[in-house]
Structure 1
């Protein structure tokens, strides 16, 4: 009777085939063990998982030392003293010429008539005179010289005009200083004189015109009130006026 393929294989395994299969299994186990051992013992050094970590160290900035700069003190240079030559040049400069001092004007010994006319009222200090305007007896510190309204009044001597005013009793008044404490006063002038304070006048210069401004002498005919003082004291004009 002919055996089937399966019976042949079974017989083979029961015979020599058993040892052949065992040898193949051992060989397979050996090869597997060698492969596993080779994989566990790599030739290259181990590489860390995740790759090589690169650590960058940033150097700290080196502190810069601050140096305080002290400003240099100014160097004082001594100014050389002038030599004797320079001193000689300075000393050779002429000194300014002193200005001449004005010589005080001396008082005139006589006066010119400020207007031409008759003396209506004379000078009277020691004796009382009747005042027709005021209706009483009083002193009179000057002279009243008859002159028409508008007649020119002239300076009786050279001098400086020191006062131009409106006197309550004597009206428009001009006072001239002739030097030596001698002053003359022309009153009862027209409202606007022709001179001002500070004007220098010469004898005969026109200083104004006869007016009607003196209320204390308004009852008299048209005239010029003329008086003289020396150091503030009244002087009789007739002592200085020519005859």
Structure 2
């Protein structure tokens, strides 16, 4: 009785078949190794490149200098560089005339308003005793003794700017002269020889000595004479001629 084909195959594999299969496996491994070694030994330049690679090289932008360019310097001199600045003149100082110079310069322009002795001097820096008020105070003028009714004259040429009755100094006449000088004549009689706006020359009559100044009533009859420039009193002795 014949064995089934399955049993035959099993017997074959149990016998010679095992070695046949082993041979086939070794052969397959050998063939695979051969082809692998063959591919490794092929030079790289012989391998076919699938596609061409195009490389575009963009040139770098032109370098710009970061250092600032120096402006062109003109060698032609400008008028300002060659011109010398004009020298500012030094201010000139106006010499202040001394008292002696004032007396010399004004002796021909000023005259004494009355002839008489000074009974109360000019004093603004030192206090002097006031007989009427009974205290020590400044005196912004000179008191020239003269009998009541004595003619009072303009000390210099000018314009009469005021004729009024002062509460303390009585009837008063003010004459304005050049350079802002003003001469004041107080303790006059009520009747005057001039009115406001009149032009007078040195020696022209203004009025007469009176007794109208209650602030100086303790003194003998006199003319109160003063000089002013602005709000500053001046010493009449520096302007009147030597007696």
Q: Normalised by the shorter chain, which TM-score bucket?
A: 0.5 to 0.7
Q: Which residue of 2 aligns with 1:202?
A: 201
TM-score (norm 2): 0.55
Q: What's the counterpart of residue 153 of structure 1?
A: 152
Q: Which digits, 9 at most, give the CA deviation of each residue in 1:110-167, with x for residues without a partner?
A: 4210000000010000100110001111100000000000000001011000000101
Residues 47-196 of structure 1: pairs in structure 2 closer than 5 A: 109-110=106-107, 111-196=110-195
Runs of 4+ in 1 over 6 A off after TM superposition: none
User: How many residues were matched structurally?
Assistant: 137
| Distance in 2 of aligned mates of 1:125 and 1:183 | 17
More helix by share: 2
* 2:220 matched residue in structure 1: 221
Residue in structure 1 matched with residue 235 of structure 2 by the alignment: 236
TM-aligned CA deviation for residue 232 of structure 1:
2.6
Larger radius of gyration between Structure 1 and Structure 2: 1
Contiguous gaps of at least 5 residues in structure 1: 1-106
SS in 1 for 2:147: coil
Give the unaligned 5+ runs of structure 2: 1-101
* RMSD value, Cα: 1.4
What SS does the aligned partner of 2:111 have?
A: coil
The aligned residue for residue 9 of structure 1 is none
Q: Distance in 2 between matches of 1:232 and 1:112?
A: 23
Query: TM-score, normalized by length of structure 1?
Result: 0.55
CA distance in 1, matches of 2:179, 2:231: 11
Shift of 1:210: 0.2
Using the alignment, how far apart are the partners of 1:189 and 1:169 within structure 2?
Answer: 12
* Whole-angstrom CA distance in 2 between matches of 1:188 and 1:211: 6
